[in-house]
Amino acid sequence: MEEKIIKTEYSEVMQKSFIDYAMSVIIARALPDARDGLKPVQRRVLYDMHELGIRYDRPYRKSARIVGDTMGKYHPHGDSSIYDALVVMTQDFKKGLPLIDGHGNFGNIEGDGAAAMRYTEARLERVTQESFLSDLDKDVVDFVPNFDETEKEPSVLPAKFPNLLVNGSEGIAVGMATSIPPHNLGEVADAVKAYMMDENVTTKGLMKYVKGPDFPTGGIVINKDDLLEIYETGTGKIKVRGKVDIEKGKGGKTNVVISEIPYPMVGVNISKFLLDVASLSESKKTQDIVDISNQSSKEGIRIVIELKKDADVDNFINMLYKKTRLEDTFGVNMLAIADGRPEIMSLKQIIKHNVDFQFQVTTRKYTMLLAKERERKEIQEGLIKACNVIDLVIEILRGSKDRPMAKACLVEGKVDGIKFRSRESKVMAAQLRFTEKQANAILEMRLYKLIGLELEALINEHEETMANIYRYEDILDRHDSMAQVIINELDEIKRIFSTPRKTVIENAREAVYVEKKTEEMEVIFLMDRFGYARCIDPSVYERNKEAADGENKYAFPCKNTGKICIFTNTGQLHTVKVSDIPYGKFRDKGVPIDNISNYNGEKEAVIAVASQSTLNLYRIIFVTRLAMMKIVDGGEFDVAKRTVAATKLSEGDEVVNIAIFNDQKHIILQSAEGYFLKFDVEEIPDKKKNAVGVRGMKLGTDDYVENVYYTQSGTSNFIEYREKNVDLQKLKAAKRDGKGTKIRV
């Protein structure tokens, strides 16, 4: 076959492919439908459970069975996404009205995940069966082919209430995301009825019924005045606080008890909240906390914070609102698929879409029911008529050779070939004109139908059928009648399934937290060779000076309001607030320095550690592996950022020594090959921190600076170099940028 190459613009192919992918994610995966409030995967799970017969009044079935069947028939995107969707639909702490009844470990509010699908079981909730799936056999929605066109699936479920509002939705598509909070079923039902009675009702009018979101975790919405704009535009931010109670503790102490959490805190954020509260105490932002305990159980949330006797409770609670996620924000973006395209909708638009859908579903439902009743009426009338001439009918049946002959007589009055007892019977038979359906029903009629009571029951059925036809025609012909049917169904759903509101809606004052000023005091910073840092009281240090200096690599005084500067071999400066370093006893282990700073011990080595207040008073000497040197004013390292470049390095270079320039007289550079160069410190020029510096020593091809020493006037300074004692004072002083003297060993 001859090869055919089609040349096209690459950018056009990419653009078309990306748009196709984006629309697939938006429409077919990530965003819910405004009509039933479900994403495709959720809809497919519910429909598959319906097809498998896993009703609310039947035994549970393994989740793995449901997931496998859904994946094989309707959703070929992997089992994890299907099971995740199933799990979320069972969780009453995420959904205002769970659609699936889970049996087993389906996770909890504190962030523990669900057990594997082979361990858990599930079945439909009653509300799902009755409000989403019960009318699927009445041709109320369109069915479309599945991914391989071997099955049919509903394009949407006939939800009888705005599930998009009741259960909310969250999803991230391509270039857009949806975030709709859950609402109270009873309030939403009342709002729908209000809209049906007056389609010109405003959002403000609807909010007489829908007060605001109703989160399954409760909590308090504190910006009530902002809700009108949020529901009119479909976007905004809802501020939610946890519910806090104050209880008397033992010994006159006060317990702050958190019984409800903000909805965004559901999951691992509860653990983070506890850590945040603990860090407030560790960082000395508050010293009122005695103990923190999480006493939550299946009965509900209960986080207890025990405070000291003299604690300012109101200020402490305000601090929790300000410094932790006890007050959080729920970002609202009411985006859903409406008429086949993504659209941000207001409260009224969501209700309108659902109500329009309800009228479509109800119209299709009663059109089908009317057709069935008319068919039943036709058959009933034929049977009643046949009973009135039953002797003639029996004569026709006995005189016919086969079923087609008898049927032809009943439908068209053809009497040829049929044996009659009398000419009068033949004349009467020729006048019969039953319909096809009536004739089939007569031919299939059993003899017991001729009993008087059975005939009476048939007449009663016919009267009931006529009443149904009249009612169905009235519903289809009159808008008000259909609206009343929808309202009646809503009232029944509200009566059975609605629950009291959990979330309080109010206007609360901004939390004002007055942070107590830290009393400035001197502490001693200690850091051992493993990088564990802590601060102790100066008096404790003095009592244990010998042990402190011997066991720790760095030990120096600093202010508790200041910062510690960590210089590394890569030329980086990491700063740490002293207030972030644990203050305690001498034998406390402390905290790894990389836990409270950006320092990463795997990639960097600490060259020097100093107090920021000390650096501000002095100049700093830098020496690198390639013998580049400079002196920098310590004030340049008083920076706000946690990490900055302390010096500029050439490629392949690194810092080998940093020292505070105090009263040193000479500096001695020792190379790896044994060359020592001694010269006056004053020869090192002052530079900015972002400068490379000047060369201090001429090095051989593979040589480098290994050690740096300093001497002071009138003092001896011995070092051991390759098992030989060297007196640095006796080394001959030279000039900077020399080769130095080689020490023979």
Based on its alpha-carbon atoms, the radius of gyration of the chain, rounded to whole angstroms, reads: 42
Backbone angles phi, psi at 434, to 5 degrees: -75, 155
Burial class (CB in 10 A: 0-12, 13-18, 19+), 261: buried
Tell me which residue of 242, 252, 243 sits closest to 290, measured CA to CA: 252
Burial class (CB in 10 A: 0-12, 13-18, 19+), 742: exposed
Rounded Cα gap, residues 267 and 108, in angstroms? 8
Q: Sheet holding 532-536: strands in order across? A: 554-559, 522-527, 532-536, 591-592
Q: 38: alpha, beta or left, given left = phi > 0 and alpha = psi -120 to 50?
A: beta
Catalytic residue chosen out of the listed positions 47, 56, 83, 119: 119
Per the CB < 8 A criterion, the answer to whether 658 and 689 are in contact is: no
Backbone angles phi, psi at 639, to 5 degrees: -120, 160
Please report which residue ranges of 132-243 form alpha helices under DSSP H.
163-166, 185-197, 203-206, 227-233
Per the CB < 8 A criterion, the answer to whether 681 and 667 are in contact is: yes
Residues 6+ apart with CB under 8 A from 149: none
H helix or E strand, kind and range, residue 504: strand 504-505
What is the number of alpha carbons within 13 Å of residue 163 lying toward its C-beta? Answer: 26
Per the CB < 8 A criterion, the answer to whether 443 and 407 are in contact is: yes
Find the distance separating the first CA and the last CA of the chain, reported in whole Å.
Answer: 82
* 83 a catalytic residue: no
Which residues, in sequence order, are bridge partners of residue 707? 670
Catalytic residues: 119
